[in-house]
Amino acid sequence: MTATITLDDVQAEVREWLAQNWDPQRPLGEWWAMLAEAGWAFPHYPTEWSGRGLPPEAERIVAHEITAAGAYGPPRGIATMMVAPLLLERGTEQQKQDWLPGIVDGTTVWCQLFSEPDAGSDLAGLATRAERDGDQWIVNGQKVWTSGAHYAQLAILVARTDATAAKHHGLTFFVIDMNQPGIEARPLVQMTGDAEFNEVFLTDAVLPANNLIGDINEGWGVTLRLLSYERNSLDPEADAGIHCQLDLARPADDYVSGRIDDGLQGFMPKGSESWAMLRDLLVDTGTITDPVIRQDAMRIYSWQQIARFTSLRANAQAEAGKVAGPEVSLGKLASTRAMRAWRDQALLALGSQGMLNGPDGALDGRITQIGLSVSGMSIAGGTDEIQRNIVGEQVLGLPREPRAPTN
């Protein structure tokens, strides 16, 4: 961003562009392609990769203007939260050319093959194996809690490539095609009634030899970098992160209006919107006059602002080419704490009505859906317990938690 362009200029320009180009009846795929071509889908991306080279705060302004115009936002998901930032930082030029365009215009859906039945928080203990066979790798193993695996086309995968090395040093970070006979996704039904998660079985699955990011057996460092993006995506001002599989031929307004589910109704809305939703709910239920309720509401607002500040700091570090520090963990903890408190206060205000889902519930059951989904956010991006260990050991200098011996 040059010195002559201000954030006010960005706001004015995107507002004018939206006025000229947003058409509710335009097919979603066409709309996303237009956003990508204009650089407004992800304005903080470099100009050579469908961005505008703007600072992170410009993205918030653009997102606000898109919402204010009644338009549908850009693609969201694993690809935009984590894969694209990783490719921009560590991908080869060929990898960027192959994968970034489909991420920016929403034509390629990704998932994340990380956790395993015996390797959740202890991700480095994973057992899925990748063995080199000429110009390809053969992968065998099982993954679990994989969002979108039943419709994703590509996946990021961490697999063990050296069984003799210490567990953190024998891993490699790959990209794998999900549309092949050797991969089977089995949906797992959640308590919300949805089945967004899956267990995934890989049996002699194949990936090209050059489909790795980073070096062989050095995938742990790449994984940690990627997870920092995921934790930072829990910024309460960020858009919700996971769309369900969308029909790109449908009018974009079908998703704006909610006539077609985009999979985001069960997600906590971004900070300013969630605060407005809670405030209106307290007013509508008459609980806003309760001094204890008001005090708790302000505490939630404070936690949201703490999470927002730490996210801004992490973004500034990333823009400066620095690796985000433990403040990412602080932001994640503040976000999930605010989410849980938001859920508790919203359901308390609703009383018995909070038990109703669907059309009979508040906001057509959205409050209840959010309430059922929030607990999972304490696990996503690294459990809260793991984040507290990071803060305790790396920030406060406390003794390391006792760990089982490693080979």
Task: Single out the residue of 200, 201, 221 nearest to residue 212, CA to CA.
Answer: 221
pLDDT at 323 over 60: no
Q: How far apart are CA 59 and CA 85, in angstroms?
A: 14
Q: What's the CATH superfamily of 110-230?
A: Butyryl-CoA Dehydrogenase, subunit A, domain 2 (2.40.110.10)
DSSP H helical ranges for 233-290: 253-257, 271-284
Confidence at residue 27, expressed as pLDDT on a 0 to 100 scale: 96
For the residues 350-361, what does the mean pLDDT come to? Answer: 84
CATH placement of domain 265-395: 1.20.140.10
Q: Do the domains 110-230 and 265-395 sit in the same CATH topology, yes or no?
A: no
The model's confidence at residue 357, banded by pLDDT at 50, 70 and 90, is: confident
Of the listed ranges 34-38, 148-152, 261-265, 369-373, the one predicted with least confidence: 261-265
For 343, the token pair is 């859920």
Strand segments (E) across 97-251: 110-113, 129-133, 136-143, 154-160, 171-177, 183-188, 197-208
> Which CATH number applies to 7-106?
1.10.540.10
Q: Which two tokens mark 317? A: 């570090």
Average pLDDT, the chain: 85
β-bridge mates for residue 100, sequence order: none
Tens of pLDDT, residue by residue over 82-107, are 999 999 999 999 999 999 999 999 99
Q: Which of 280-284, 366-370, 377-381, 386-390 has the highest mean pLDDT?
A: 280-284
Q: Helix, strand or coil for residue 6?
A: coil
**Spatial separation of the C-alpha atoms in residues 370 and 313, rounded to whole Å:** 28
Burial of 73 (0-12, 13-18, 19+ CB in 10 A): buried
Q: Which residues contact 403 (CB under 8 A, 6 or more apart)?
A: none
Residues in CB range of 278: below 8 A, 6 or more apart: 297, 300, 342, 345, 346
The rounded percent of the chain whose pLDDT value lies above 90 is: 50
380 contacts 335 by C-beta, under 8 angstroms = no
pLDDT number for residue 264:
56
Quote the pTM value. 0.80
Q: Determine which of 120-129, 215-224, 381-390 has the lowest per-residue pLDDT on average.
A: 381-390
Cα–Cα dist 240/242, whole Å: 6
Tokens representing 383 are: 């459990």
Q: Taking residues 235-252, what's their average pLDDT?
A: 70
Rg of the chain taking only CA atoms, in angstroms: 22
Residues 371 and 353 sit within 8 Å (Cβ to Cβ) = no
Looking at residue 339, what is its pLDDT? 87
Most confident range, picked from 79-88, 316-325, 361-370: 79-88
Residue 236's pLDDT is 47
Alpha carbon distance 21, 37 (integer Å): 12
Q: Which residue ranges make up each domain of the chain?
A: 7-106, 110-230, 265-395
Q: What pLDDT, in 10s, does the model give residues 201-223?
A: 999 999 999 999 999 999 999 99
Q: Among candidates 132, 311, 312, which has minimal Cα distance to 211?
A: 132
* Residue of 278 and 386 predicted with greater confidence: 278
Q: What is the mean pLDDT of residues 138-145?
A: 96
The answer to whether residue 231 scores a pLDDT higher than 80 is no
pLDDT of 1: 44
Q: How far apart are CA 8 and CA 196, in angstroms?
A: 39
Does the structure show a pLDDT above 50 at 131? yes
Strand partners, 137: 132, 207
By 3-state DSSP, what share of the chain in percent is helix, strand and coil, each rounded to 5? 50, 15, 40
| Average pLDDT of the segment spanning 358-364 | 79
- Other CB atoms closer than 10 Å to residue 262's CB: what's the count? 20
Confidence of residue 2 (pLDDT cuts 50, 70, 90): very low
Highest mean pLDDT among 221-225, 371-375, 390-394: 221-225
- With 70 as the cut, is the pLDDT of residue 136 above it? yes
The Cα–Cα gap between 186 and 94 comes to: 32
Query: What digits encode the pLDDT tens for the residues 18-55?
Result: 999 999 999 999 999 999 999 999 999 999 999 999 98
